[in-house]
Amino acid sequence: MKKGKKRLIIGAVAVIAVAGVVAVAGKPGTQDEQIPQVQVLSAELGDVEQMVDASGTVASDEQKTFFSPVNAQIQKLSFEEGDTVKAGTKLVEFNVENLEKDNEKAELNLKSGKYDYSNAVKKSKKAVKKQSEAKDNVKTLEQKVKEQKDYVASLKTQLAQVNAQAQRDAQADARQQAARQQAEAQAKEEEMRRQQEEKNQEIQRAYYEALTTYQNETLPDYQRELGQLNSRANQALSAYNQAETTYQMAFAQWELDQSEENSQALSDADQARSDAQISYQQAKDEYENMKNQAPQMPVMSDFANQTDYGDFVSDGTSDADLSDEPDADASANTSANTSANTSGEGGGSYVAPDTSAIENALEQASSDLAELQSDLASEKAMAEADPSSLTKEEKEKMNITNNLSELDVKSVEELVEEGKKGIIAEFNGVISKSAVQEGLTVTQGMELFTLQNTDKVNVDINISKYDYDKVKEGQKAEITMADRTYQGTVTKVSHIAVPNEKGTPMISAEVRINDPDEDIFLGVDAKVKIHAATANGVLTLPVEVVNIGKEGSFCYVIEDGIVARRNITTGLSSDTLVEVKEGLSADDQVIADLGVLEEGMPVKALGETEGANEAEGVSEAEGTSEAEGASEADSAGETEEGTGGTGEGADE
């Protein structure tokens, strides 16, 4: 609405200015009389109050959901959803007959708890006795385990001595076998090294061929296609920005004149903007997908499927077998063990001694030791573990549980009293979300209804990106609902922007109604005017003479008889006035409307009365209508950068 008001004012002034210029130019006379005359004004001291307009929904700032305090049937319900109720009104009455049964159940639970306590005490005494017996058994078992360990150790010593002698006897035969195996392994290693060298050369050739293809073909093709997609995305973004600008211009024209033609133009511009946005997103997605599919440069590891000596490893030969200087003694010992276990079959001429009797005795002794150790561990665990006896704290806890059961018995009696009291409204409000009716049986804790406070009411509003920085907590506001107006205060401003149904980011805020009354309806729409800021006794200009360009705000003045552009610094703005902080003084002659004139042209100031009369006379003489003059002025104004008022849309 603000942009529309400025355009109407400028159009009217343009009619006067153009008519004035034509009237003077049409009269014969001196050279002085041929200079165009324009209407001028001066900056004046005044007050500017910046207002922020918004709309929102009336909502309660406090609400309470009531739950059933008892398991009972609703005997009487004194409201319906949407009713207004007064504080102290009895809203729900319960039938409390069934609560007596709950009281009996609570008494039985109390008796059960006392029996549990008695049983736990008896089990505790039995566990303490069992632990004492386990402590006595631990000492006996520890002695038996020690004796059995000594016996097992002696058997292991005998077996080790026999095996050591057998080891020494077999080493001579084993060394011969080790030397033969080592010679065979060295020959095989040399062959594998030769094969691996050939394979490495083949891998390098394949790698360099793949790298050349990647550098000369794959990567350039990918970069060229990625550049084309990027260019397409930039073109789609430019088209979207153009569609957004067209939509903003159509919206501004629709605000000025909500005719069917302008409404259709706005709808077409909105559809075009939506289509452009979809096209941009598709182009951007194609670019990002291609960007994520960048070809990877070949690496040597892609062509090397096995390490050096891989065939050796797969044949079962260990790294130790491939060493240049193997440990002869270790090889001999290994061969000796193998020879001893094979009893001379294919492993040499040595025959191992028979140690089966010692091994059987050792196996049985170890089994007996393990059994004794298991028994000892069990008895120790029993002796050292918590005897499951009741501590002082546990006994106290069980007493408390019994006391709680006693309280449960008492609480049922209290629930009967709660049921008799029913549910009473705690404040003035409106009933919402009611889920009950008379005769319905409810359970304790079941949600019944919600009461919204009508003495604490807010209006939830959304603020555009152009105004959110102007709104602060504590600012005063005027709230209009239907034919009623209330005073309010801004109590909360969100710091998160949320897109609305059109995708425009909006900031939510709350405005408290200071003096709500019985005429308040929750959930209805309300209009809000927020007193954002005030500047008193400052230099001001009408909004229609202030323009906004890429470099900031400016106006046109007469300097030495010439039209000159004057850059100014502005402050607060209202619907009619703009605060001028710098760039202008009170005695400067500000041109009301430039019309068809241009910067640098000679002009003369025209008094308001004289200019109006002359404009009217020329209009009558030539038969030019006011609408035709406005159209001509608008056409001329479109060629001047920033001409059209101080609204945000001028810059866009």
DSSP for 240-254 reads: HHHHHHHHHHHHHHH
**Secondary structure of 153-210 in the HEC alphabet?**
HHHHHHHHHHHHHHHHHHHHHHHHHHHHHHHHHHHHHHHHHHHHHHHHHHHHHHHHHH
| CATH class of the region 1-42+546-652 | mainly beta
CATH topology (fold) of 63-89+425-453 = OB fold (Dihydrolipoamide Acetyltransferase, E2P) (2.40.50)
| Same topology between domain 1-42+546-652 and domain 63-89+425-453 | no
Which residues of the chain carry a pLDDT beneath 50? Answer: 1-30, 306-326, 328, 343-346, 608-652
Closest CA to 322 of 335, 332, 313: 313
Please tell me the predicted confidence (pLDDT) of residue 383.
75
Question: Reduced to 3 DSSP states, what percent helix, strand and coil does the chain have, rounded to the nearest 5?
Answer: 50, 20, 25
Task: Report phi then psi at 621, rounded to 5.
Answer: -65, -40
DSSP for 593-626 reads: --TT--TT-B-EEE-HHHHHHHHHHHHHHHT--H
Domain-wise residue ranges, the chain:
1-42+546-652, 63-89+425-453
Q: What's the CA gap between 17 and 22, in Å, rounded?
A: 9
Q: What's the CA gap between 558 and 587, in Å, rounded?
A: 11
Please tell me the predicted confidence (pLDDT) of residue 641.
38
**CA 121, 125, 130, 132: dihedral to nearest 10 degrees?**
140
